[in-house]
């Protein structure tokens, strides 16, 4: 979602009020379990719902699982 908007990781971090390193860990493979504040802040900065943010983060296989 961030890249669709052509936002840098730094811009999203600034808009969301979280550390750039935290976003890097969230975006990397095998990322940490994020806390609710971080996820909520990212969703708010991107102007999307939490549901949309989680759906975008899922792999294609996870999306197709019932």
pLDDT tens column, 6-53: 999 999 999 999 999 988 888 886 556 778 888 899 999 999 999 998
Is the pLDDT confidence value at 65 over 70?
Answer: no
Identify the CATH assignment for 9-64 out of 1.10.260, 1.10.10, 1.20.1050, 1.20.140: 1.10.260
CA–CA dist 41, 16 (Å, integer): 5
- Is the model more confident about 64 or about 14? 14
Confidence (pLDDT) at 61: 65
Report, as an integer, the average pLDDT of 50-61. Answer: 79
Confidence (pLDDT) at 59: 61
Q: Show me where the domains of the chain are located.
A: 9-64
Distances (CA, A) of 51 to 21, 47, 54: 23, 12, 5
């Amino acid at each position: 979602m961030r890249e669709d908007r052509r936002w840098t990781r730094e811009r999203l971090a600034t808009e969301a009020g979280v550390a750039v390193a935290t976003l890097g860990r969230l975006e990397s493979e095998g990322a940490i379990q994020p806390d609710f504040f971080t996820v909520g802040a990212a969703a708010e900065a991107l102007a999307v719902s939490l549901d949309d943010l989680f759906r975008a983060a899922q792999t294609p296989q996870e999306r197709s699982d019932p």
